[in-house]
Structures are given as structure tokens and as C-alpha cells.
Amino acid sequence: MKKLIVFDLDGTIAESKSAIDTEMAGLINELLGIIKVAIISGGNWPQFENQVLANLPQSEAWTNLSLLPTSGTQFYEIKSLTTGWEQLYAENFTEAEKEKIVTALNAAIKATGFVVAKTWGEQIEDRGSQITFSALGQQAPLEEKSKWDPDSAKRKQIKAILNTTIPEFSVNIGGTTSIDITKPGIDKAYGIRKLRDILGIAIEDMIFVGDAIYPGGNDYPAKQAGALSIEVRDPHETKRVIETIIACMK
């Protein structure tokens, strides 16, 4: 019997940068009533608040929920609704590290020629413990994002350059148009191990559900860490996975 279900966010329980819908909120809420749940994503803490918490029914079952923004480089838990969410750690970059990463990103984009004519919001976002490149900008419409790099081929070229120019950092493809850069060895595998250490749950007792469980994908490190992994195409498929888990546990 598994003891923890871990989900990616964008592309897994919600569309990119969008809120979880009513059906997903109900399923996660039901799951929280019977087992511990964690969400680990390249998104920052405000995204977790807007996409998940603002749409999830508030209850004491939230004490069964762990949230790991920026690919597991941060960890939040809640003891009770009255005390609120507490950050347990944050593996933040130094200013010098941030500058080096941003310089390398700009050079890689220029070298590949993947310079876009129109963007919606920031292309390169400082999330403290993670630098995220979003090709069309942080606020780009999902329709536009879905067309830009559906097979990740463009981002794989950028990642290949970054692996050479900043090999001391972890570079992973995430979301629909994004690349996530964290400190070396600090990725979703790191987050999985932190869940093990903080919650006292063995990795073999976890299930990880994500949409980017392939070499170079930002969900792949979770599989490498040893968690039983289920790859999904979209939130619709995730709902069916959750329904199956609930049925099995009942």
C-alpha cells in the first residue's frame, strides 16, 4: 500500500499557468482524506497559491498536503489552518550565480536563433531558487505556447548548449515552453528525497504522476530517484489516475 501520491502541476493537474478545475479540486480533496499528497513543480509559490490553494476546498485535510515549488528547491507545509503555510527550506541562488545563468541563457537563445517576435511578460524569471526561461513570456496564452515547441526540440537544443556553458547547474525542460535551472543536484529527485526525509516515507512507498517523465524532462528526476512513476498526457488523464487510486485505496 502506497503512503504518498506526488503530482507535478502544469500539464498534470492543471493546464499551463491555469487553475485546477472544479473536478480536479474535488478529486484532490477526496484523495487528501485518505492519503498524503504532495505537489512538486517548476512554478513559484504564488503560482501554487493561485493555481491550487485558491481553488481547493479548505479543510484540516490540508495537513496531509506538502507543496514543493521551483522543482523541489522549496518546501511548504501546514500544521493547521490557523497557523498557515510554513516554508521549511529554500535553496536560493547567489546574485553571482543568477547573473551567470541569465548571461548563459541569453547566449544560448541567440546561438540557436530561437528569438521570438512577440512575448507576453518576462522571458527569464528569477524565482529565487530557480531561474526559469519561458520562450513566449510568463503570461503567454496556452494556445500560443502549445504551438511553439510541442516536441521539445527547440528547448532540447537550448538545453544542450547550457549543459556545456553552465555544467555546474541542473538544466531541465519543463512546462510547455520553459526551461528550469536550479543548483546542481537540486531538482525533483532532490524534492522526492526531501519528502522522504521530512515525512518519513520511503521512496518505494510513493507514486509520482507527471507529464514530462522522459530524459531531459523536469519530471524525469523523480523517476530517477526511485519513485513509481505514472506518465500522463494531460489533466484529464490525471483525473482518471486519481479516480483509480481512490478506488483501489477504498
And the C-alpha cell for 143?
494556445
**End-to-end distance of the chain based on CA atoms, in angstroms?**
11
How many Å apart are CA 206 and CA 49, to the nearest integer?
24
196 is in an annotated binding site: no
Helix (H, G, I), strand (E, B) or coil at 165: helix
What is the residue whose three cell numbers read 526559469? 132
The CA dihedral of 45, 105, 210, 34, to the nearest 10 degrees, is -20
Query: Active-site residue 10, yes or no?
Result: yes
**Please, which residues have CB within 8 angstroms of residue 197's CB and are 6 or more apart in sequence?**
none
240 is in an annotated binding site: no
211 is in an annotated binding site: yes
180 is in an annotated binding site: yes
205 is in an annotated binding site: no
178 is in an annotated binding site: yes
Tally Cβ neighbours within 10 Å of residue 224.
14
Which amino acid, one-letter code, is at 114? F
Q: How many C-alpha atoms does 183 have within 13 Å on its Cβ side?
A: 16
How many Å apart are CA 116 and CA 95, to the nearest integer?
27
Instruction: Given the residues 10, 149, 187, 219, select the one marked as catalytic.
Output: 10
Q: Write phi, then psi, for 226 (nearest 5 degrees).
A: 110, 0
Instruction: Given the residues 8, 149, 187, 219, select the one marked as catalytic.
Output: 8
DSSP H or E segment with residue 24? helix 22-32
How many Å apart are CA 23 and CA 52, to the nearest integer?
12
Query: Active-site residue 219, yes or no?
Result: no
**Residues assigned a catalytic role:** 8, 10
Binding residues for alpha-D-mannose 1-phosphate: 127, 178, 180
Binding residues for Mg(2+): 8, 10, 211
